[in-house]
Chain A
Amino acid sequence: MATANTVNGRIERARTELSPTQMAAGALFIAALGFTLLFVQDPLVHDSLHNFRHAAGIACH
């Protein structure tokens, strides 16, 4: 609990608190999220998200 309350302190903290496995899992999760975003370009998924895209203000058509 002695880590200074700064942004660098938080990065240090994350480094000590998270195991390499957890960090790898996090990186994998982000990669999966990116892949999902690509998959969302698929016509079926893309069209069924139509109303949501409008509501979120990111309509791409």
Chain B
Amino acid sequence: MFAQYLTRGVKAGLVAGLVFGLFMAVVANPLVAYADELNHATVEESGHSHEAESAHSHESEGTHSHESEGTHSHGSGDSHAGEGGGHHDTAVSMAVTKAVSVAAGGLWGVVLGGAFFGVAFFFLEPAIPGPDAAKSYLMGLAGFITVSGAPWLVLPPAAPGAEQSLSVATRLPLYAGMMLAGALACLSAGYAYTRLRESSGLPAAIVGAVVPFSLLAALAVVAPENAVHGALSPTLETGLTGLFAFGQVLLWLVLAAAHAWFRLSSESESESAIPTAGRDSAPAAD
């Protein structure tokens, strides 16, 4: 049974990975490259590009391992400053970056599918309220809140070239901490909902489910503030941030939809006892 769940989760992950890889290739890659070019142009125009880049690199990349290791082929000290200053011809070419990013987009879907819809769903399914298909979508919502939604309350997706006031060394643990807080909020909301639904009825259950998310929002308000100062126009930055957010929402929606769909198909298959194509039904495990 565990193997079945894992297989279904990974299958949903493959579908979502395909969609997100496509999103990377068609939407995200060209836009990041375009934004990088714009940043580059801005730096060129400003005439003191080198000074600007050094300042940027100090602020936005100062604690980054790139700087201290000095393994960049450019070796001029401002090699990675492209992030802050504009041009992004860093250790690897844009073509490689694009290809690797598309592949990573695909893997991202598979990893999330396996972890959330394979492993976590197997254990949590009995505790998730609602009918079967709704459970897939609730799992998707919880996954989105855990991986992206909660951390984004403090650290929203950054547009290329944006400078952030918090250092990387601060932001990474902050991001991880908000992921943990998001997961806890989802788990306790589900727990409160199920408990209160039995004892006190639906209205109380809904209130009980809302409380953990209010606490999450309060936590985001208390968390250190990250001022983002971008080199692009505010409209473009908002657009990019919104688009990256949309990409993750899309990913989780596809994951949930594919997961719900694979449940239906696997149920009808097991009822009619017709073996599937063979390679993915893992009959030995039952």
Residue of A11, A59, A61 most packed against chain B (CB within 10 A)? A61
In the bound assembly, the distance between CA atoms of A52 and B109 in angstroms comes to 12
**A47 in contact with B92 given A18-B2, A52-B108, A54-B157 (CB within 8 Å):** yes
Interface of B is mostly: helix
**A43 in contact with B123 given A51-B24, A54-B32, A57-B245 (CB within 8 Å):** no
Interface of A is mostly: helix
Chain B residues in 8 Å Cβ range of A9:
126
In the bound assembly, the distance between CA atoms of A28 and B111 in angstroms comes to 15
Interface residues on chain B, size class: 35 or more
Q: Is the CB of A43 within 8 A of B157?
A: no
Chain A residues in 8 Å Cβ range of B69:
43
In the complex, which residue of chain A has the Cβ closest to the Cβ of B64? A61
Size of chain A's interface in residues, with CB distance under 8 A? 30
Q: Is the CB of A51 within 8 A of B244?
A: no
**A56 in contact with B123 given A18-B2, A48-B97, A51-B29 (CB within 8 Å):** no
Q: Is the CB of B24 within 8 A of A52?
A: yes
Q: Is the CB of A57 within 8 A of B244?
A: yes
Interchain nearest-CB distance for B239 vs A (Å): 13
Interface segment among B167-175, B199-207, B213-221, B273-281: the answer is B167-175
* B65 close to chain A: CB less than 8 A: yes
Chain A residues in 8 Å Cβ range of B104:
49, 52
Q: Is the CB of B158 within 8 A of A59?
A: yes
Chain A residues in 8 Å Cβ range of B90:
43, 47, 50
Q: Is the CB of A55 within 8 A of B244?
A: yes
Chain B residues in 8 Å Cβ range of A18:
2
Given A55-B105, A57-B245, 15 more contacts at CB 8 Å?
A7-B123, A43-B72, A45-B100, A47-B90, A47-B97, A48-B97, A49-B101, A50-B32, A52-B102, A56-B108, A56-B248, A59-B160, A61-B60, A61-B64, A61-B168
- A residues bordering B, Cβ < 8 Å? 5-7, 9-11, 13-14, 17-18, 33, 41, 43-52, 54-61
- B residues bordering A, Cβ < 8 Å? 1-3, 23-24, 28-29, 32-33, 60-61, 64-66, 69, 71-72, 80, 83-84, 88, 90-92, 96-98, 100-102, 104-105, 108, 111, 122-127, 148, 151-152, 156-160, 168, 171-172, 175, 240, 244-245, 247-248, 285
9 contacts between A and B (CB under 8 A): A43-B69, A47-B90, A48-B101, A54-B240, A55-B23, A55-B24, A55-B32, A57-B248, A58-B151
